[in-house]
Amino acid sequence: MSYLLYPFITAFSLFLIYRFWFLRNPKRKIPLGNNVVSPADGRIIKIIKYDHENEFEIRENKLGKVLVKTKDVSPRGWLIVIMMNIHNMHRQKAPLDGEILSIKYSKGKFFNAVRKAHNMRASLENENNEILMRTAIGNIKVIQVAGVVAKKIVCFIKEGQKVLKGDNLGLIKLGSQVILVLPDDNIELKVKEKDKVKAGSGIIAEIKTIEKSFFEWL
């Protein structure tokens, strides 16, 4: 009769894997200094520089498209797309010290974020959550994007809350991607496409000059 227990053992094992692997929250060493850290674990699949466009559409092989609004960040800046896989931690971290200005959730239409990543369609039609932050380098934006399996974004923070670099912002369950929008002024990117990054510890950009930390300006 032991074989009758196999489905229960399998289900319980999958639950443990999900609970202690996908939802894990390992301690990360937050780098000191004037830098912007990655909001997510994963691989950088796209880096786009934009210039004086409030919003723009990107098409690739005429299959997918994404609309990103940048007016609330900066006239010039960078769009960095990070793809997460099943081996990555699925929590998102604050790239900088700052204050949460707004949180905009969209239920969206679900497409596989991993399968559609390279034509950018996932970030337009998937469930997503935009987090706009005020920081020492200006406004920045972190966009959580859920995949067809995930269908669930958890946000840990609220509008008006102050966060430190490396603090938890939220969680995307299972397959997902994260988009980071940065102003171009006063930063120097330290990553390129195909680089692997770690949430909270991987440096995305160095800040060229900064006199005070964000909280010293308050």
Residues marked active site are found at: 176
b/e code 174-201 from CB counts within 10 Å (16+ = b) = bbbbbbbbbbbeebebebeeebebbbbb
User: Across the chain, where does the E strand assignment appear?
Assistant: 35-37, 42-51, 55-60, 64-69, 76-84, 91-93, 98-106, 128-135, 138-146, 153-155, 162-163, 168-172, 176-183, 187-189, 196-197, 203-207
157 within 8 A of 169, measured Cβ to Cβ:
yes
Q: What is the largest CA-CA distance in the chain?
A: 71
Distance CA 46, CA 199 (A): 17
143 within 8 A of 125, measured Cβ to Cβ:
no
Burial class (CB in 10 A: 0-12, 13-18, 19+), 161: middle
C-alpha angle 150-61-172 in degrees, rounded to nearest 5:
15
One-letter identity of residue 120: M
Q: Which of 24, 131, 38 is nearest to 93 (CA)?
A: 38
